[in-house]
Amino acid sequence: MFKFLLKALAQLLDPALRRIIYLSVLGSVIVFAVLALGLFYLFSEIPAESVPYLASILDYLGISFKWVSGLLFASGIGFVTILLFPGIVIIVVGFFLEDATKAVEAKHFPNLPKGRAQPAQEIFKSTLRFACLVSLVNTIALPFYIVLFFIPPLNLILFYVINGYLTGREYFELVSNLRLDPNETARLRKRHRGRIQLAGVLLVFIMTIPIVNLIAPVIATAFMVHLFHSIDS
């Protein structure tokens, strides 16, 4: 598993992947800038009086509501980055997925026949479905994250199990569908669900590392190409 990751990291400097990295980073930054502005506007427009007793409590404690709203804003950005990043950024990188896959295959699997032509509509529907699914599942699981916040090992386990499954499954399907039809992909994924789940956990860990998470989707794609061909061979 780690040898696939090392191969993916070693290829990041290739010109074919560098262009995709620049575009995916730019797209990711734009997406999160828009989200940050939206959250900033939301929290700046909330009056203290709208929350029962909050204004009185803050006055008693000598705390400015602007300080509280700033804290909420920072928390909101943290929530979006950690929980929703895998889902949001896949929409951006989804448009360059085929190019990234071809670049990895050209270097490491040059003798492969031409892959399946995947319609742009199919790619868009798949990436959008994944983004919505990740966001929905993590939103539903949020109360459990909060409850388990005071039990550190369990909250991390829950986060990595849920997102590892979703991320491993989605990246595997996106890569596999460029070679196999969706039915064959589903059968192959079910036969190797353990390895794909483990791969997903590893990828989610990378996606939670600041700065590195901006290029994590490209790393994940290259990594999954190696995993797919090791399974499919």
- 69-109 pLDDT per residue, tens: 556 666 666 666 666 666 666 666 666 777 888 899 999 99
- Report the range of poorest mean pLDDT among 51-55, 56-60, 199-203: 51-55
| Angstrom distance (rounded) from CA 233 to CA 98 | 20
**DSSP character for 181?**
-
Q: Give the total number of structural domains in the chain.
A: 1
The residue among 162, 174, 37, 154 whose CA lies nearest residue 97 is 174
User: H or E segment at 115?
Assistant: none
Pick the more confident residue, 179 or 51: 179
How far CA 64 is from CA of 22, 49, 53, 54, 98, in Å, comes to 41, 13, 14, 11, 50
Enclosing domain of residue 19: 2-232
Q: What is the pLDDT of residue 57?
A: 59
Which span out of 30-39, 89-98, 210-219 was modeled with the highest average pLDDT? 210-219
How far CA 163 is from CA of 10, 55, 111, 129, in Å, comes to 25, 38, 34, 15
Mean pLDDT for the stretch of residues 51-76 = 58
The pTM assigned to this predicted structure is 0.76
Which residues are within 8 A (CB) of 64 and not within 5 positions of it... i.e. 6 or more apart? 58
* Residue 116, pLDDT above cutoff 80: no
Q: What is the pLDDT of residue 193?
A: 92
Q: How confident is the model at residue 199 (pLDDT cuts 50, 70, 90)?
A: very high
- What are 109's two structure tokens? 């699997």
> Which residues in 117-140 are b (16+ Cβ under 10 Å) and which e?
ebeeeebeebbeebbeebbebbee
| Angstrom distance (rounded) from CA 66 to CA 209 | 29
| Angstrom distance (rounded) from CA 139 to CA 157 | 16
